[in-house]
């Protein structure tokens, strides 16, 4: 890190990461020119950077990739999880090279520029990761200027003035509109398939708090007919769809803030005995709806290699995660049992109600990117609706 008091930008620098205390990390900017303020986090995935950058759960965050070679396979229109990127920017070790993949349509740095996202290369990303693990996820500004003109003091002031993710409802900003969902899971040479069966399929209403597209695709693959509703959907709007089951999606921000309008809907659905399946933010919101509390984590879990133990039989799933808040297992009521636990830090990764057909997991079971250990959850939910 540069001297917090010197404010001198080294020669040849075109990108910078500035912390609230005035310290800075210099490098080579790529992608869009400009600046963005958000929370710095790290992701341990070695593939799937395009899916990660477009994951709505990353709204308000800047991603420090631990894998050094990001961008080497380019980008394409199939490997996206939303219409546009939601991560504010990314930090990488090596410069983005020319893409080498038969599916490439556009180089990663060009894609970042077109999408208005800032990149910073030439940084010791492992050192940043260790810092986050030690001190927690900080508020930072990432900036890119081809001429290397940065006002470090002003950028530090901007980082210090950003309120942070705690107490912030971001689901309202990234949610989609009401729509039927038809696409199935993508396969090489076939594209996105669709469900062969029609209206006889169980009807799942999915509330979109910032969902990845592949979540909906896996519900279709598991045999469901899916209707997506926005995060602000009321209980009456949900029931107008005559759902066989209710799905609560992933999403960004503080679950307690989103819970201001979401929890009452979930409570009413539980009282009406509508079967429920939630993931990530949806897991946290289900936890709040049954009376538990959520807490801000020190560094969060982000990556495609997180081991989670299934408590009923001891099986370990390797999972994909992206969350900075967690359900406090010590606050779960008597009618809710923990079902999964992180083997990294012991935090809660799953719950199930004993008196209702409702369960949830903290991780992303759709494998985009990530392992496919947890697809059974979609099957379990949809099969339970038939």
Known catalytic residues? Answer: 280, 364, 366
Burial of 157 (0-12, 13-18, 19+ CB in 10 A): middle
CA dist 3 → 6, 7, 26, 194, 263 (Å): 5, 7, 11, 56, 46
Separation of first and last alpha carbons in the chain: 57
Q: For residues 356 and 150, give the distance between their C-alpha atoms in angstroms, rounded to a whole number.
A: 56
Closest CA to 180 of 132, 216, 144: 216
Closest CA to 316 of 336, 338, 337, 342: 342
């Amino acid at each position: 890190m540069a001297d917090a008091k010197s404010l001198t930008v080294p020669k040849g620098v075109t990108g910078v990461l500035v912390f609230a205390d005035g310290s800075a990390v210099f490098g080579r900017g790529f992608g869009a020119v400009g600046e963005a303020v958000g929370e710095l986090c790290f992701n341990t995935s070695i593939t799937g950077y395009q899916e990660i950058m477009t994951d709505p759960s990353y709204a308000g965050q800047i991603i420090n990739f631990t894998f050094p070679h990001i961008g080497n396979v380019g980008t394409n229109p199939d490997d996206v999880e939303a219409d546009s990127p939601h991560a504010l920017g990314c930090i990488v070790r090596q410069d983005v090279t020319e893409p080498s993949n038969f599916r490439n349509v556009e180089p990663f740095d060009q894609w970042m520029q077109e999408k208005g996202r800032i990149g910073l290369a030439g940084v010791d990303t492992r050192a940043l990761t260790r810092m986050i693990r030690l001190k927690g996820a900080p508020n930072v500004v990432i900036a890119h200027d081809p001429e290397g003109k940065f006002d470090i003091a002003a950028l530090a002031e901007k980082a210090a003035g950003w309120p942070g993710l705690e107490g912030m409802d971001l689901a309202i900003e990234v949610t989609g509109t009401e729509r039927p969902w038809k696409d199935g899971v993508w396969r090489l040479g076939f594209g996105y398939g669709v469900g062969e069966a029609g209206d006889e399929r169980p009807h799942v209403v999915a509330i979109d708090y910032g969902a990845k597209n592949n979540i909906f695709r896996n519900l279709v693959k598991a045999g469901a007919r899916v209707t997506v509703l926005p995060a602000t959907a009321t209980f009456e709007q949900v029931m107008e769809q005559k759902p066989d089951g209710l799905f609560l999606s992933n999403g960004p921000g503080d679950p307690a803030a989103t819970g201001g309008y979401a929890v009452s809907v979930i409570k009413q659905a539980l009282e009406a005995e509508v079967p429920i399946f939630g993931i990530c933010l949806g897991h946290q919101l289900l936890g709040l709806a049954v009376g538990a509390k959520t807490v801000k984590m020190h560094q969060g879990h982000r990556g495609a290699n997180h081991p989670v133990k299934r408590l009923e039989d001891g099986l370990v799933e390797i999972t994909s995660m992206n969350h900075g808040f967690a359900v406090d297992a010590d606050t779960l009521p008597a009618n809710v049992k923990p079902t999964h636990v992180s083997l990294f830090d012991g935090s809660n990764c799953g719950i199930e109600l004993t008196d209702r057909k409702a369960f949830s997991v903290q991780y992303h079971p759709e494998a985009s990117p990530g392992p496919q250990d947890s697809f059974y959850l979609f099957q379990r939910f949809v099969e339970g609706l038939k």
